[in-house]
Amino acid sequence: MQQDLYFFGGGKAEGRGDMKDVLGGKGAGLAEMTNAGIPVPPGFTIATGVCLEFQKEGGQTPKRVTESQVTYLARLEELMGKKLGQADDPLLVSVRSGAKFSMPGMMDTILNLGLNDESVHGLAKKTENPRFAWDCYRRFIQMFANVVLNLDKDIFEEVLEELKKARGVESDTDLTEEDLTGLVDTYKQIVNDHAGQSFPQDPSVQLAMARDAVFSSWNNPRAIYYRKQNKIPDDLGTAVNVQVMVYGNMGDDCATGVGFTRNPATGEKEFYGEYLVNAQGEDVVAGTRTPQPIAGLEQAMPEVYRELREITTRLENHYRDVQDFEFTIEQNKLYLLQTRSGKRTGTAAVRIAVEMVHEGLIDKAEAVLRVPAEDLNQLLHPRVDPAKRPTALATGLPASPGAASGHAVFLADDAFKQAEAGKPVILIRAETNPDDIHGMDAAEGIITSRGGMTSHAAVVARGMGKPCVAGCGSMRVDAKAKQCSVGDTTVSEGDWVTIDGSTGELMVGRADLIEPEIGGEFGVFMKWTDEFRKMGVRANADLPRDAEKAQSFGAEGIGLCRTEHMFFGEDRIRIVRDMILSAGEFKNLEIELNAAKSDLKSRVGAEKVRVEERLEKIKEAIKEPSEKYLGSLSKLLPLQREDFKGVLKSMAGFPVTIRTLDPPMHEFLPSAQELSVEIAVAEERGESSPELDDKKALLSRVEHLHEQNPMLGHRGCRLGVTFPEITAMQAQAIIEAACELKQEGHDVFPEIMIPLVGTHKELENQRHVVDQVAKRTMEQRGVEVDYLVGTMIEIPRAAITADEVAQSAQFFSFGTNDLTQMTLGFSRDDVAHFLPEYIKKGILKEDPFISIDQIGVGDLMRVAVKRGRSVNEKLKIGICGEHGGDPESVFFCHRLGLQYVSCSPFRVPIARLAAAQAALMARKPAEVSAMA
């Protein structure tokens, strides 16, 4: 029989710390701490499976759970010696969420549950602190109304702000008992007016409604969005933790706070966190009051501080990881409310992993597995150029490292919309709340005027790897007017601003940013990854500077050098256009010429004379297009040779895969629409000139080259088959560059990749051209160069017939961008119109252009690997689509047995780490499971 509820209290818990699947992270932590003798307020946890049943049954909690809840509440009441909400001495509880994976602020919490119009007097009498009792009651009404009854919390906040203004006070703590009593009456009236019901007075009804609201919050928009962004499955559910309330807001001998055993932003080994005297936990994380650094607690409450340090150090050593903890001090007695592995920035994750290895807490393998591969992206954020640093307008707290510039925006919706339109934005808020998650994700960085280092903005920004400045108190934010001000300076929506999350500074204007480099703990950590990984990691790079950057990040070669990107320079595009415009005419005349030559062999007499005359006319006609076409190729040859020489030299000692020309010809030509308009305007003006005639000729050729579906048209190897001179020119440029570099003493390893192959005959045709040119060039140069010829597997037919294709290929490289496009039938350019709906409705789990569709596209890859190696055991196989930098795709490639992945230069460290983790996961599954 399944167990739905788990009790903890009295020094013993029914659950354990390794039961996160059942108890959620928070519940498992509470059970573990209770069993370890740590002071934890008692309570019980309702299992995650109940949440899934609740969702399945349309928002109804199973009857058996409700019945068990009555039993468990009675156990809690017996332990505490009082009943929930009893009039003279009420037991009060908190109701909190807690999923397997930490989702800070994404789901809901209710505090002070059990208060009503009678028990508030009992609490006042028992504590001899009426102000405290009424403060708890007004907080409870506001939270319950917002979380359970779905009322806008701003309605209550506005009333509170008006009251403080009327009383001439700054803080909630300055309001009197009479003020709070009146506020409770006002809050209850708001509930009655907006919810259409009176505030519930029965504590058991309150508990049932709160429990169900927390279960419902598993599927609120921000939780769904957070899971999507962090790849957390939707079918886990949340537990509900019902826990006895302890109070940090009873007076000056009370406090509440949150902390980390190490700095979650930098990784420094320091006791880190914040606290507030005479406050509840929501005050710290909500940012409504700016808290004090936790170090100040040592002077304010030295005994409690020492106990807190001792307990949290024990917790870190026990879990062998940084702990994120919440605590409350009630009348100088310490209680731990939560512990969990702390969310941290990529910078902190790397430093902590390295230092914990040096401290003997974990080994290298565990360190490598500890850091999420995607988090390394945070270490690659730019910083403000110190030589050109703008003057700081204001300074707050350095909540999340890195610098960012963007247009100022003041609403999350505006941030999301403007970012979608391609504008970089900085989100400026008084404080953020969970409803801002989409805008925070879209922004380049976040700055708030209120809140501290553990506020919502700080925690979420660190998790996203975005720069954040919090608690910038001198900045006044007016979200309605869409502006903020510091002194006499006003920043309005659209103005450029820069924030530095490492220093806490806000600067007006757009700053110059400097790209980061690998070094220090990061360098040590990346060397460890290379000790474990089996796959190589290359970069997609088209220029020497890109190759150099990739090599600085640890790339072991280039997996994709796109030659077409070299053609768009101003000194080249005209040559390329001349080549294109003359190529078709030259090819048609060449076909006629060959046909005439063949025809001539069978003719005699007068017929032979006629054919000879036609042959001479064709020879004359072909001269000009031949000179233009072949002349253009001869002009491009030295340019391409220097291009390839630069890339090969920058990656000397490593293989460089160079793809021959891939895109359709029309991409190098101007728009037919633009040309038509220019011609029409010129003719309307009565103009007549050779330039106009050239434009008309160009328009004719552009229209002739137009294709209804160019991505499936005359491109890739099809260009090389119909225009072998282009393939020959590129092959000659590659081999000549390699020969020259070898003569200069450089080790170079060019790999020539033929794109868009669908049949083995296409590859045979193109390889023959390459091999002929290579042989001739090396003989002329007197140099032998090791080179390979292979193909991209990007057409489903090539994957299915890989055993045939492999007979002519020395390597395969999966072009997963096009392979995904052709397998799913999705146009990369148009899929954005419907793909979000597909993901939202669960038709697709995630964007297949970001992470490999392992069932469909992945199965084609499996087939290609198996069949290709069945005829060529030495066949080198890699991947060069952008999926090569996606950790999940890297794991998949490791399982397939690929030799390497290739990705953009800035994702090389991510791919290196993912490859190491894939190897470790395959080798040590038990260890991975234990650390999950």
Check which CATH number belongs to the domain holding 224 and give it.
Answer: 3.30.1490.20
**Together in a domain, 313 and 198:** no
Please state the residue numbers annotated as binding site.
562, 659, 794, 815-818
**Together in a domain, 216 and 265:** no
Residue-wise pLDDT tens digits, 667-721: 777 778 888 888 888 888 888 888 888 788 778 877 877 778 877 888 899 999 9
DSSP secondary structure string for all residues of 311-366: HHHHHHHHHTS-EEEEEEEETTEEEEEEEEEPP--HHHHHHHHHHHHHTTSS-HHH
Q: Mean per-residue pLDDT for 601-628?
A: 79
**Together in a domain, 274 and 239:** no
Confidence of residue 568 (pLDDT cuts 50, 70, 90): low
The most confident of 104-108, 213-217, 429-433, 720-724, by mean pLDDT: 213-217
- What secondary structure letter does DSSP report for 199? P
Options 254, 472, 717, 880, the catalytic residue: 880
Q: Mean per-residue pLDDT for 334-359?
A: 92
Q: Mean per-residue pLDDT for 227-239?
A: 89
- The tally of domains found in the chain comes to 4
Angstrom CA distances, 858 to 495, 821, 825, 867, 914, stand at: 46, 13, 15, 14, 18
Over 90: is that where the pLDDT of 23 sits? yes
Q: Picking from 65-79, 438-452, 827-841, which range would have the lowest pLDDT averaged per residue?
A: 827-841
Q: Is 456 a catalytic residue?
A: yes
Over 60: is that where the pLDDT of 843 sits? yes
- Distance separating alpha carbons of residues 539 and 819, to the nearest angstrom: 19
536-540 and 900-903: which strand pairing? parallel
Helix (H) or strand (E) holding 834: none
Name the more confident of 839 and 749: 749
Q: What percent of the chain has pLDDT over 70?
A: 97
Over 50: is that where the pLDDT of 61 sits? yes
Please state the residue numbers annotated as binding site for Mg(2+).
794, 818
Query: Bridge partners of 485?
Result: 476, 490
Over 70: is that where the pLDDT of 925 sits? no
Over 90: is that where the pLDDT of 180 sits? yes
Show the domain range for 424. 381-514
**Together in a domain, 234 and 319:** no
Here the CATH number for the domain that contains residue 262 is: 3.30.470.20
**Together in a domain, 415 and 492:** yes
Asked if residue 850 is part of any domain, the answer here is: yes
Cα Rg, the chain, nearest whole Å = 34
Of the residues 217, 244, 271, which one is the last residue of a structural domain?
Answer: 244
Coil, strand, or helix at residue 452? Answer: coil
Q: Picking from 62-71, 91-100, 559-568, which range would have the lowest pLDDT averaged per residue?
A: 559-568
* pLDDT recorded at residue 929: 42
- Distance separating alpha carbons of residues 258 and 455, to the nearest angstrom: 10
The most confident of 208-222, 565-579, 840-854, by mean pLDDT: 208-222
**Together in a domain, 296 and 227:** no
Q: What percent of the chain has pLDDT over 90?
A: 65
Confidence of residue 932 (pLDDT cuts 50, 70, 90): very low
**Together in a domain, 194 and 276:** no
Over 90: is that where the pLDDT of 804 sits? yes
Options 381, 407, 456, 666, the catalytic residue: 456
Name the more confident of 610 and 773: 773
**Together in a domain, 262 and 228:** no
